[in-house]
Structure 1
C-alpha cells in the first residue's frame, strides 16, 4: 500500500490468523527507537529488583543492629535507584508515544490514499460513518496498544520472572508460600483475557454501527423532520446505543472481576507470607529484613498483574481494530484501473469520440440494467439521452466515466479502450457534471479551482463572466472569497449548478457529460443555467441526460433508453416523424419538460 502499484494481501482467514503482522511496516522506520526502548526493559527491571533487596540490607545490616554509620549512603542509593527507574520509564514512555503516533500518522495517510482509489460501488456499500471509525477509533486503538500494550506486557513478564528468581534466592520456602496462589492467578487472568477480548471486539463493532447510523440519519435530518420520523429514528438509535452499552457493561464486569480476583489472591498470598514468615522470625530462622523484602517483591509481582485488565483491553481493541483495518487494506476494487490486456479499437485518426459496443451492465448479478448498448458519437457532436426513470440513463454515464465497469462489451474513447486509459488522463479529458452538486466547506474560490493553484485569477474571472456567475455573485453580495457552508447549503440549487459549470469549464475537458444537471433549477437562475449549458457544450463532444426539451432539441442526436436498451436513436425531427417512444415522451409536455416519470 505504499504506492499505487503495491499489491495488497488477500483478504480472508489468513489475514485474521496473523492480524497484527502487517503493522510492522509502519514501525520499521523507527526500529532503532524501538530497539532502544526494548533494551531499556532489562535495565528498568534490574533497577526495580534492586530496591527491595536494598530494603532487606538496610533492615538486617543497619536498622536491626542499630548501626547508623553508612545508612544514609544506603538510603541515598535507594533514592537514586527510584529516581533512575522513573526517569528510564519516562524516556521509554516518550519514545513509545513518539513511535506510536508517527506510525498512526503513516497508517491513516496510506489508508486514506487507499480509500480514495476505490470505485463508487465501494462507497455505496460501506457507510461513511463506519469508514470514519476506521480512521479514528481503530487507528487510535492500535496506537494505544503500541504505546502501552506490547512492550509493557513484555516488561511485566520479565519483571515477574526476575522477582520469582530473586524471591527463591532470598528464601525458597517463603517463595513457594508466596507463589502458592500463582496457578489460580494465571488461570483467572487467561479466562478474563479471552472474555475481555471478545467484549472489546463487540463494543468496537457496536461503536462502528453507531457511527454509521449517526452519519446517515444526521445527513438526512431534513427528510426525518419533514416526514415526522424523529421518534422512529430515536428508537433505532436507542436500540443501537443499548447494545453498545451492554457490550461496555460486559467490559466493566470482566474488568472488575479480574481486578478483584487479583486483589483477593494477592491479599491471601501476603497474609500467608506474613503468617509463615512471622513464625520463622520468632523461631529465629528468618530475618525481618528478608520478610520485608519478600513482601515488597510480592507486591511488585502482583501490581503489574492488577493492571493486566487494562492492557488486555488495549490489546483486545488493537487486535479487533487490526482485523478491520487489514480487511480494508485488502479491498482491491480500485477505481478505473488500467487494463494492459486491452488493445486499440482502431487508429485514433478516424475513430469516433465515443463508441459503446455491445455494452451490458448489472449492479446485482442476474438483474441487467443495460443490455447490448451500441452508441457512436463523433467528435464535437452532442448526444441527448432520454428515457423514463429507471431506464438506465445514469448507469450509462457512470460506465462512461468508469465509476463502474461494463459486465460485457466495451467503450472506446478516440479509438482507445477506456480500460487502457489511466484514470488521470480519462478524467482530465472527460468531466461529469452530476445532478446533485457537491460543494466543500471553504471559500467559493476553493470550490471553483478545487485547490488547483495553477489556474490564474484572470481565467477564473473570464469563466465566471462567460457563465453569468459574476452577475449572480454581485446580486447576492458575494465574492470569490465568500465562505461556502457544508454541502453549499448557503447557495441555491441553481447557484450551485452554475458553480459546478464554472468548475467544469476551468478544467476545459474534451468531453462533457451532463447527468440531469439542469433538473433542479430555481426560476431565478434558470436563464443563466440554460445559457451556461450552451456555453459548456459549445465546441465539445457532449452527452446530456436532460428533462428540459430545449436542451434535448439542440442535441445533434437523441438516444431513447427503455428498460436498459436503446429503443431508438436519431435527431429530434426524425424521432418525431417515427412517432415512436420519443414521440410518446413528448405527448405529455409539462412546462418544457419531458414526461419521464
Structure 2
C-alpha cells in the first residue's frame, strides 16, 4: 500500500468512524467569546483587577516616556542647555522605567495564576458535566475524541487566559493612546504615517475566515488521531494476535500525516500576518522620514516632535503585530471553545426533574408497564412489554443476541428512558425519582468487568467508598475472592495496573462480585457475569452467589443456561417481545423456546 493510498484510506475511515467531528462554518461568535470570558468572574475581585491595574501603570508609563524624551529632554533641556532640568528628567524617566518593571512583573505573575485557575475550573466543569451525560452520548463518540476535548481543547485556551486577554486590553489602550498623541503632536504627519492602516485592516479581514477554518481542521484531525491511538492501545493484543502491526502502523501514518498537513497549513496561514506587519512598519518608517523631514525643514514641527514620532511609530507596530498573534489565539480558542461548549450544551437524554423524589428503604419491586424502547427510529429494541419482578426474586432473562435482555437491564438502571410506557420500582415511575437514590440501590456486574488502576482494596471499595478495610475483606471472602488475593505478593494492597492486567478474567470477575456485595444494593443486575469464569471457579461461586442474591431482587442475563436453573422466574425474549416465562421446570414442561435453547446447549455439550 502506497503512502497516498494509506492517507486516502485513513481519510475515508476517519469520515466513517467520526461523523460528529465535522468542520463548523460559523462567523466569529462574540457571544461565545463572552461566555468563555465568564469563567473569569470568580477572580474579578482579586487577580483580574490587580493584573489590569498593573497593565495600566506600565502602559501609561510607556506612553508618557516618549513625550518626556522628545518634548522635554530634546526641545527644552538639551535645546535650552538646562542641565538641572536634564538631570531631573533622567531621574524621573529612570524611576518610571523601574516602576514599569515592577508593574510588568506583577502583571505576568498574576495573569499566569489567573490563567491556570481558569483552565482548572473549565476542565473540572467539563469533566463533571460529561460524567453526568447519558449513555446515548457515549454511544456516539469514541473515548479518544472525548479525551481530546477535555485535555487538548482546554489546553488550547491556556495561552488566551494567561496572556491573550490582558495583552489585548493593553494593546488596544496602547494603540488608542498612540493615535491620540500622534494627532495632538502633528495631525498632518499622523495622517501620513497611519495611511497604511485601512489597507492593512482590509487584508487582515480577508485572511480571518481562512485562518479560522484551518485551525478548526487541526482540532478535528487531532481528535481523530487521538481516537485512533486510544483504540490501538486498547486493542494491542488483538493487533498482535493477527500480526497486523504493519497495517496498523501504516494506518496511523496516514492519520498522522493528515494531522501534520493540517497543522502545517494552519501555521503557514497564521505566519503570513507577521511579515505583513513588518512590511507595514517599513512603509510607515519611510513615510515618517521623508514627510517628517519636510515638516522639519519647513518649520512645521520641531526635532523633539520628530523623535517622539519615531518612538511612537516603533511602539505602534509592536502591539499591531501582537494583536495578530492574539487574533490567532482567538481563532484557536474559538475553534476549541466551539467543541468544548458543544459538550457543555449537551443535555442528558435521561433528565432529572427538579422536584424528583428520593427512594427511601427501597424494596426492589420492579414493574414494566407496556414499555417500548428504541435506540433509534429504525430499531425498536422492546415492543410494549409488561412484566413484574417481585422483591427478593431472582429473575433470569434469556434469548438470542439482540432480543432485548441488556436493554431491560439498562432501563432498570435508567441509563435510558422508555420511548413509551413506564418502568416502576416500588410503585414509583423512575422518571420521577432522583438518579443517585436509584443507582446507589443498584449494582451491576458485567461480563467485561472494569478494573481501575490502583490496589485490590481500592477496587473493591469502589462499591462503597466509606467501607472499612475489614468490610472490604469480608465481602471478598463471601464471594471467594480472598483465596487468590491472599496469594498475591502484597495481598489487598497489590497494584492491579491498568484495567487489572495482572489478574485473570475470572479473578477480575470475582473482584466485581465483591464490589457489588460491598455496595449492599437492593437490586442486583448480573449481565453475563459468569461468562468469563471457568467451570471450576463457577462451581465455587455458586454458593457465594446465593449469599450475594439473598434478600435482593436479582436480574440475571445469561447465555449459559445452567447458571439460571434456580431462578424464581425465567423470561424468554425474542426480538424485544416476551415469548414465555416461568421457572425452569414449568418452561421445560411446556417444551417451547426455552426448552429448545436448553436442549441445543446440552446437545452441544454431548457432542463435545
TM-score calculated relative to the size of structure 2: 0.88
Of the three residues 129, 132, 135, the one matched with 2:147 is: 132
Q: Which residue of 1 aligns with 2:39?
A: 26
Q: Which residue of 2 aligns with 1:530?
A: 542
Counterparts of 1:531 and 1:479 in 2: how far apart (Å)? 23
Counterparts of 1:415 and 1:126 in 2: how far apart (Å)? 35
- In the superposition, relative to structure 1, how do residues 349 and 166 fare at CA in structure 2: closer, same or farther (>3 Å)? closer
**Structure 1 residue 265 displacement after superposition:** 1.4
CA contact (8 A) 2:164 2:326 kept: yes
Counterparts of 1:195 and 1:124 in 2: how far apart (Å)? 33
CA contact (8 A) 2:399 2:574 kept: yes
Counterparts of 2:110 and 2:533 in 1: how far apart (Å)? 58
Counterparts of 1:379 and 1:19 in 2: how far apart (Å)? 51
- In the superposition, relative to structure 1, how do residues 360 and 340 fare at CA in structure 2: closer, same or farther (>3 Å)? farther
Deviations 1:358-409 (A, max 9, x none): 2221112132111122222222221111112222211111111111111122
Q: Which residue of 1 aligns with 2:69?
A: 55
- In the superposition, relative to structure 1, how do residues 114 and 594 fare at CA in structure 2: closer, same or farther (>3 Å)? farther
Please list, as runs of the form range in 1=range in 2, the aligned pairs for 1:248-327 lying within 5 A after superposition. Answer: 248-281=263-296, 286-327=301-342
1:225 lines up with 2:237 in the alignment: no
Counterparts of 1:36 and 1:358 in 2: how far apart (Å)? 62
**Structure 1 residue 514 displacement after superposition:** 0.5
Counterparts of 2:351 and 2:496 in 1: how far apart (Å)? 30
Deviates more, 1:477-486 or 1:335-344: 335-344
Counterparts of 1:14 and 1:408 in 2: how far apart (Å)? 40
Counterparts of 2:100 and 2:338 in 1: how far apart (Å)? 36
Counterparts of 1:341 and 1:285 in 2: how far apart (Å)? 79
**Structure 1 residue 447 displacement after superposition:** 0.5
**Structure 1 residue 590 displacement after superposition:** 5.5
Q: Which residue of 2 aligns with 1:97?
A: 112
Q: Which residue of 1 aligns with 2:58?
A: 44
Q: Which residue of 1 aligns with 2:4?
A: none
**Structure 1 residue 342 displacement after superposition:** 10
Counterparts of 2:92 and 2:600 in 1: how far apart (Å)? 98
Please list, as runs of the form range in 1=range in 2, the aligned pairs for 1:576-591 lying within 5 A after superposition. Answer: 576-589=588-601
Counterparts of 1:339 and 1:411 in 2: how far apart (Å)? 19
**Structure 1 residue 339 displacement after superposition:** 8.3
1:573 lines up with 2:585 in the alignment: yes
- In the superposition, relative to structure 1, how do residues 105 and 288 fare at CA in structure 2: closer, same or farther (>3 Å)? same
Please list, as runs of the form range in 1=range in 2, the aligned pairs for 1:66-105 lying within 5 A after superposition. Answer: 68-105=83-120
Q: Which residue of 1 aligns with 2:3?
A: none
Gaps of 5+ in 2: 1-24
- Aligned residue for 1:307, secondary structure, equals helix
Deviates more, 1:79-88 or 1:68-77: 68-77
Please list, as runs of the form range in 1=range in 2, the aligned pairs for 1:130-209 lying within 5 A after superposition. Answer: 130-209=145-224
Q: Which residue of 2 aligns with 1:497?
A: 509
1:379 lines up with 2:391 in the alignment: yes
Deviations 1:556-591 (A, max 9, x none): 121111122111111211211111111111222359
Of the three residues 545, 559, 574, the one matched with 2:571 is: 559
Counterparts of 2:463 and 2:528 in 1: how far apart (Å)? 26
Counterparts of 1:222 and 1:267 in 2: how far apart (Å)? 61
What is the count of residue pairs matched by the alignment?
A: 581
CA contact (8 A) 1:336 1:402 kept: no
- Aligned residue for 2:118, secondary structure, equals helix
Deviations 1:327-358 (A, max 9, x none): 222211254634869999xxx99998222222
CA contact (8 A) 1:514 1:543 kept: yes
**Structure 1 residue 444 displacement after superposition:** 0.9
- Aligned residue for 2:531, secondary structure, equals coil
1:462 lines up with 2:474 in the alignment: yes
Deviations 1:507-531 (A, max 9, x none): 1112211100000113563333333
Deviates more, 1:88-97 or 1:258-267: 88-97
- In the superposition, relative to structure 1, how do residues 537 and 299 fare at CA in structure 2: closer, same or farther (>3 Å)? same
CA contact (8 A) 2:488 2:494 kept: no
Q: Which residue of 2 aligns with 1:106?
A: 121
TM-score calculated relative to the size of structure 1: 0.89
**Structure 1 residue 120 displacement after superposition:** 1.3
Of the three residues 514, 520, 544, the one matched with 1:508 is: 520
Deviations 1:403-427 (A, max 9, x none): 1111122222122222223222212
1:211 lines up with 2:226 in the alignment: yes
Counterparts of 2:538 and 2:50 in 1: how far apart (Å)? 68
**Structure 1 residue 285 displacement after superposition:** 5.4
Q: Which residue of 2 aligns with 1:548?
A: 560
**Structure 1 residue 41 displacement after superposition:** 4.5
Counterparts of 2:156 and 2:418 in 1: how far apart (Å)? 40
CA contact (8 A) 1:585 1:594 kept: no
- In the superposition, relative to structure 1, how do residues 195 and 51 fare at CA in structure 2: closer, same or farther (>3 Å)? farther
Deviations 1:440-461 (A, max 9, x none): 1111111111184531222222
Counterparts of 1:575 and 1:236 in 2: how far apart (Å)? 52
What is the alpha-carbon root mean square deviation over aligned residues?
A: 3.0
- In the superposition, relative to structure 1, how do residues 342 and 350 fare at CA in structure 2: closer, same or farther (>3 Å)? closer
Gaps of 5+ in 1: 1-11
Counterparts of 1:176 and 1:336 in 2: how far apart (Å)? 61
Q: Which residue of 2 aligns with 1:414?
A: 426
**Structure 1 residue 299 displacement after superposition:** 0.7
**Structure 1 residue 65 displacement after superposition:** 6.0
Deviations 1:53-97 (A, max 9, x none): 222132333445665444333223222222222322232232223
Counterparts of 2:27 and 2:289 in 1: how far apart (Å)? 51
Q: Which residue of 2 aligns with 1:486?
A: 498
Deviates more, 1:482-491 or 1:367-376: 367-376
**Structure 1 residue 232 displacement after superposition:** 3.9
- In the superposition, relative to structure 1, how do residues 303 and 145 fare at CA in structure 2: closer, same or farther (>3 Å)? same
Deviates more, 1:218-227 or 1:262-271: 218-227
